[in-house]
Chains A and B, each alone.
Chain A
Amino acid sequence: MISLAGRDILHSWGKYAFTGVGLGLLIGVTLSMAGIYRGMVDDGKALLANSGADLWVVQQDTLGPYAEPSSLRDDLYRSLRGLPGVLRAANVAYLTLQIEHAGQEVRAMLVGIQPGEPGEPRYLIAGRPLERAHYEAVADVKTGFQIGDAIQIRRHRYTVVGLTQRMVSASGDPMVFIPLRDAQEVQFLKDNHALLNERARVLANPALNRPGVPGLAEALFSSQENSRMVNAVLVQVAPGWDAETVAQPIRRWKQVQAYTRPQMEEILIAKLIATSAKQIGVFLVILAIVSAAIVSFIIYTMTLGKLREIAVLKLIGARNRTIAGMILQEALGLGLIGFAVGKTVATLWAPYFPKYVLLEPGDAVRGLLAVLLICALASLVAIRTALQVDPATAIGG
């Protein structure tokens, strides 16, 4: 038996191609949405993996440092270094801000790190790591910065000395690494205007600016300007040690919490991006319904245009199965054309998204199955109509 559906598609290929492209764009949007979700998950994993940490020590009762604000005293890392199983421990500070660059604003996550310690970006695609104690930066390429660029952050100018790739925050903002001290200052200290204001107020206060105690005001300034807080301590465990084992005694300490990598992943993926994931989920459901409505409408219209042929087929003895099969195959054919177009356009436009879009082959397979299922369901109305056609209508009155 020849394929009636195949012949019909070939015969009116223009109509199928046109409709398939329309459907394909819709499928492309759907695949991209899934890719955006996968990209968010992958960004989260990359964020954890690239930090080089096995344990995140954060403020008690918080999900910090990525999901909730967390602050710790900056000498805590010394006590951690003394624990059994801890290879290295280093302070990190995180803060998201707008950086002005070449007349444009870049939203970036500022990361304060200690050179050579956990938290430092492990792979650079250009330049060198931070070496000097101040005013150097390593930026992710997505910021658009280049080596040698000078960037202004609050009170200071930083020189970009190295570039990283795929170092983004949980919300997709590219990272800019600067020395920890600088980051603490940016995070916890005030700008020049506020500083001058405070100094003036201290100097105007006779209790603090005593003629008999000349160093008092200076000491106050310096203690105000020196931040003693960080957002988290990243811990690398010694070879042969299990992160969970190392974490247990830390959790008994007051005022701190320790998360292992799997726990951090859970926080990032299940909690932090849960709302976005649901958002995308709802969107996917709507797209599926819209696609189904479009496919059923198209297949139904195409079937209405073939009622006479269907009546003739029935008259000359075609089985219901043959006719239903023809319509079903045409719907599936349309789905396949749509999927091919959708996969292609999703791949083509993925790089233009500001956030990472990860098109997983597994999602493509699931998408294909969903498209075929939707097309099959969508053809039911048309099949019902076709099966109700009376072969007598082929003979006429």
Chain B
Amino acid sequence: MKQDIGQRDSSPQTQKKPTKKTAEPDTEFVTVYIMGKAYKVPAGSTIMGAIEYAGYQIKRGAGCREGFCGACATVYRLPGDFKIYTGLACTTLVQDGMWLAQLPAIPPKKAIYDLEKLKPTVETFQLLYPEIFRCVACATCTKACPQDLEVMDYIQAAKRGDIEMVMDLSFDCLCCGLCAIRCPAEIVQFNVGLLARRLYGRYLNKKSQHLEERIKEIEEHKYDAEYEKLMKMSREELKKLYYERDME
């Protein structure tokens, strides 16, 4: 078998990576049920670490591995508890007896639109995501959100056309889809939030005068001469200029 590179075991500071190595002798273990199969994994692992420790090569279900991309939506149950929990595999720690499954993908519904033709008003939501008006205010989405966002509140704000509030409340949304998969009204919350943020950025965020002025200066070639001078300078000349430059 050909072997892939991308695997180095020497470490800069005798580091131990729980997901990459056999654990230390004194490591405590817990049992997790990955899609129903029991594996012993080091206590304190993230779900993602545990899946890899068990021997899976993840294809779907990992992206950034740091809580930004939402690729790793996971559902789980805990022993003696009737509830279904949701979390991100890359940031949620395993617990003894946890039964877990990653969601490889969540069927999306995304409106296709031309931002230039939209208005930052409630009509846009009525047109593109009319299902938000079916929201029954059950707060299941809010409970499901691994980012602890007020998901229901931003859907309510969208219904009122309060775009600034949707933008603000949905700002940290990872589009993981866990809210959408739990929603009894079949709403795709994260795409509603994304639309609102784009509307806000495009139409409602106050314009920056200095930005327009600078672009105009550049278009009028104000900096050409200085660029040409700098680009011709020797390393020594540049160095001198650099170390003497003043700081804001």
Q: A and B: partners?
A: no
